[in-house]
Chain A
């Protein structure tokens, strides 16, 4: 029996009995547990690379409810590489105008103009079940093209035994339990990760003493596609902060920060929620628009992470490994980056082109990224909810000044949007032999840019690439059986030169399959490229 823990939004992978049930445990190269954004991204990436992957999920589709709604540019770039990005952007909402209010007054507004030569906006708002549905559609297309991806819905892991060589899972199904063996097991099973608990591993961090009330409302009339954020909202009983922004299908997401000491049942009373929502929606026009309440819940949050993301054959990715407050949309977005970081490494190890040690690099890099995300999301939380007299004094001073003086506005912090971590100084990166622009230094995710027939990232794809900007085409270089694809751009657009060349006329970049820069040089030196490629593969 597999009891439902939540209602599913779409039934994407219904339970079906498979031949493995009732047979001896079959061993799979990679088993993923959890079909959320992280597990689906990783399954799609591995399958497209040709590595067989089995994904187990204890439901038959994405869960209903208030989950991630903001997907950042890097996530869209990754999804686009995997063939799922266009549907997301079509369905998603792009907003550019944000307004920040303090009590009765508007402090300032901003307009996020798109920057030239990027395929994707800074982010889109899209409900997580749609994000998962579009990934699943891409998986079905990949399967039709022969990608070895199998998803088993209604399969719940109830037992786990590991040794140096792999993991054996006990899996419960509507037809009873069976066993699955895996060389590598990837735990994408969320913040409450049952696999983490089965292994007795800790999840230390900081619990924020605060409650947020979420109300998703469907507007029946026109309402501006803007983000409104209040510090100390003036409307009745609305707490310390409030947020309004738009999702697809005429749904607006509203958050009220209620504080710690509340009566949850009373706060979820519909009349009480409607009173708050009425006050917010009418605050700028005096009119309450017609709306339906489609979802309400109260949540608290934590910032915490596992000490190590790898434990032998088991690797943790997404919320199972790290959890952040929602400010800055660093949860699902960082989880998708985990998957992007792990996919190519697992594929090379499975093919015997890299040693198992390459997977340690996954853990090292994503632990650093998790720390960065936790730092940013904790800072936003501390600004929104000052914990001491001094922090309240400065917070209020910043808000007082921000209305009059532009210098104080960058200090106003209601969340810093997820951007990819730059792996500065970590093993496997460098050298930086050009002194080029900081934003494309070794360790950074490649910035997009215009090329003659589209966008740079489309040409990078998911392989090792040797990118030559200006100058002559380099010759192929190999190390350990891998030959990076050569991408030669003799003519470099202005925007691309600004992002990759700086003052130089030419540059040569070695780029990883996850589109992070390994190393860069002013010109082509085959020995240096081979050495950098070896380091990127975890071979000294």
Chain B
């Protein structure tokens, strides 16, 4: 499964709003921990190792 880097969110502003709301009231350390959990959950959802390696490269 190739990594999708073209726009794929049906409502980008709505997603972004939800993401920031999830962080509301968290300290920096809590935010960082939240992000780590979120990445692990999304990685498990993707599953495919090649896709995940491509994502790790794209984020560099």
Query: Quick one: which of B7, B17, B23 contacts A410, CB cutoff 8 A?
Result: B7
A382 to B18, CA, bound (A): 13
Q: Please determine whether A394 and B9 come into contact, CB atoms closer than 8 angstroms.
A: no
Q: Is the CB of A390 within 8 A of B31?
A: yes
Q: A411 to B16, Cβ gap below 8 A? A: yes
The reply on A274 being an interface residue by CB < 8 A is no
- Measured CA separation A421–B26 after assembly (Å): 34
Given contacts A379-B17, A390-B31, 18 further A-B contacts (CB under 8 A): A379-B13, A388-B20, A388-B23, A389-B28, A389-B31, A390-B23, A390-B26, A391-B20, A391-B23, A394-B20, A401-B59, A407-B4, A407-B5, A407-B6, A410-B7, A410-B12, A411-B9, A413-B16
Is A416 interfacial (CB 8 A cutoff)? Answer: yes
Cβ contact of A394, chosen from B5, B13, B16, B24, cutoff 8 A = B16
Q: Is B46 an interface residue (CB 8 A)?
A: no
How extensive is the interface on chain B, given as a class? 10 to 19
10 nearest CB pairs, A to B: A390-B23, A410-B12, A390-B31, A405-B5, A389-B28, A411-B12, A410-B7, A407-B7, A391-B20, A407-B5
Tell me the total A-B contact number using a CB cutoff of 8 A: 48
A376 at the interface (CB under 8 A from B): yes
Interface residues as binary, A417-448 with B (CB distance below 8 Å gives 1, 0 otherwise): 00000000000000000000000000000000
Tell me, rounded to whole Å, the shortest Cβ–Cβ distance linking B41 to chain A. 17
Asked whether A413 and B13 contact (CB < 8 A) given A389-B31, A394-B20, the answer is: yes
| Chain B interface (Cβ < 8 Å from any Cβ of A) | 4-9, 12-13, 16-17, 19-20, 23-24, 26, 28, 31, 58-59
Contacts of A416 in B (CB 8 A): 13
Of the candidates B8, B17, B24, B26, the one whose C-beta lies within 8 Å of that of A407 is: B8
Does A406 lie within 8 Å of B6, measured CB to CB? yes
Residues of B within 8 Å of A388, CB to CB, are: 20, 23-24
User: Chain B residues near A382 (CB, 8 Å)?
Assistant: 20
- Verify A394–B4 contact, CB threshold 8 A: no
Closest to A406 in B: B6
Can you report 6 residue pairs joining A to B where beta carbons are below 8 Å apart?
A: A405-B5, A406-B7, A407-B5, A410-B7, A411-B9, A416-B13
| Structural contact, A390 and B20, CB atoms closer than 8 A | yes
Chain A residue nearest in CB terms to B58 = A405
CA–CA, A389 to B30, complex, Å? 11
Q: A388 CA to B58 CA in the complex, in Å?
A: 26
Q: How long is the Cα–Cα vector from A391 to B22 in the complex, in angstroms?
A: 11
Shortest A380–chain B CB gap in Å is 9
When the two chains form their complex, are residues B19 and A394 in contact, meaning their CB atoms are under 8 A apart?
yes
Interchain nearest-CB distance for B12 vs A (Å): 4
A136 and B19 CA atoms in complex are apart in Å by 46
Alpha-carbon separation in the docked complex, A211 to B17 (Å) = 24
B26 neighbours in A (Cβ, 8 Å): 390
